[in-house]
Amino acid sequence: MRIAASLLGADFLHLAEETRKAENAGIAILHLDQMDGHFVPNISFGPDTVSAFRSITDRFLDVHLMLSEPMRYIERYAAAGANLITVHYEAENPLESLKLIHKLGLPAGLSIKPATQIEEILPLLPYTELVLVMTVEPGFGGQPIHPDCIAKIAALKDFILREKLPVLLEADGGIKESNAARLAAAGLDIAVMGTGVFRSKDLSKTVSVIENKEAFTPFWLKKPEL
């Protein structure tokens, strides 16, 4: 399992320094949540923020669009330097959004909220490289993980393996050292961690405990090599 450091959990007054902190600990994926205040009850970042991070790091930028109308913004995020763009199943036109992301030459992710059943998204899995399971209700950091989401991850992993799909599983919300092993056992590939990374007293130790760099080799990951 890998860690994606969620910058939503970083110190906003020192984002460049927080980025360096994650890099120095060996974290290769930076996760950027984009919220519109409509799809979720919060607002964060934007294409210009992604562009700013792109200018200071060569890390893989994992951009999660929590937007009601993702089709309006996908091209802007691609141009800003996103390496992967994830849209929500519950947002407008999820299939067309995934196709547009691919048309722009990027891998596409599909995210689901805790209440969405996995059976609803199975027909869309052939159009994705990643499924992001929200393990808390999206919008704010620091929430505890929903226990039933672990079973959802395991069920999705079973389906992906059975159908031999080149799809990775990512989860976001409430992930920390104390529950990371359970998620890894369920089949999780990427753990999005905000406060668990940026408030860690010993981040290098946290990374060494959670990450298993031999666990998978995503064919779609480009620079940097993970």
Contacts with 61 (C-beta within 8 Å, 6 or more apart), sequence order: 30, 32, 50, 53, 54, 81, 82, 83, 84
Catalytic choice (33, 36, 62, 189): 33
Q: Is 33 marked active-site?
A: yes
| DSSP helix/strand/coil, 163 | helix
Among 36, 172, 189, 202, the one annotated catalytic = 172
11 carries an active-site annotation:
no
Kindly report the number of other CB atoms within 10 A of residue 137's CB atom.
14
Contacts of 123 (CB under 8 A, 6+ apart): none
Element (H, E) at 30: strand 29-36
Catalytic residues: 33, 172
